[in-house]
Amino acid sequence: MGRVDAKHVIVTGGARGMGAAFARKLAAEGAQVTITDVLAEEGAALAAEIGSSALFLPLDVTSEAAWLDVVATAENHFGPVTGLVNNAGIVHVDPIEKLSEADYRKVIDVNQLGVFLGMKSVVASMRRAGVGSIVNISSTGGLIGYSNILGYVASKWAVRGMTKTAAQEFAADNIRVNSVHPGIVATEMVAASARSANIAANQPISRPGTPEELANLVLFLLSDDSSYSTGSEFIADGGFTTQ
């Protein structure tokens, strides 16, 4: 038996990187996975690779109407949603004095508004299922500050707080909500960053994490193994924030 047999999980930003690793791991452990992303070609290819336990649906996480359509379609295909991984995210690099309002708002819309809309959109389906687990992917940037990525840090701190509020509101419906705070992970987003490589080299575990390592943590939070955990931060950063 798999650790998430008979569960139906929506993964945003699921076409590549950590999201793709989450989708593969969940499907391998018995879940039916609805993969969403704006990268339609890559998302469809991943769903085809995984097979009949995966469905790809394009999704702009900043649109409430799009969210409602995705949840309805996914529920019609696989049944009520029992898990959500709010993974979609972007980063914009600029010092504060050069950061435009438009660029700041774009990051907030994807990273923060997208998480809010995701949680709001799946609750009714999870209530129908009688159970749910929501995993919001934050960052070590939701625990400490980093220069030159103000919008990203602001959004990830917001996700941390939103997670705690949602955990309080949804507990009566048997829905748990937790946040995951990755450090440097070897994905397309950070592969070309000398700053990221330097951070990883100087932390206690002196290497980047892998998407598969984060997928193991997400699997735990979506499984019944974490049934007494809600409103909590789960950090996977090679010990960076211990310094």
Residues 167, 231: Cα–Cα separation, whole Å: 5
Q: Please state whether beta strands 32-37 and 8-11 pair in parallel, antiparallel, or not at all (unpaired).
A: parallel
List, in order, residues 6 or more apart from 165 with CB less than 8 Å away. Answer: none
Q: Please report, for residues 85, 152, 156, 169, the alpha-carbon distance to residue 15 in angstroms, rounded to integers and kept in the order given.
A: 13, 21, 21, 30
Residue 152 among the catalytic residues: yes
Amino acid at residue number 165: T
3 state SS of 19: helix
Residues labelled catalytic: 152
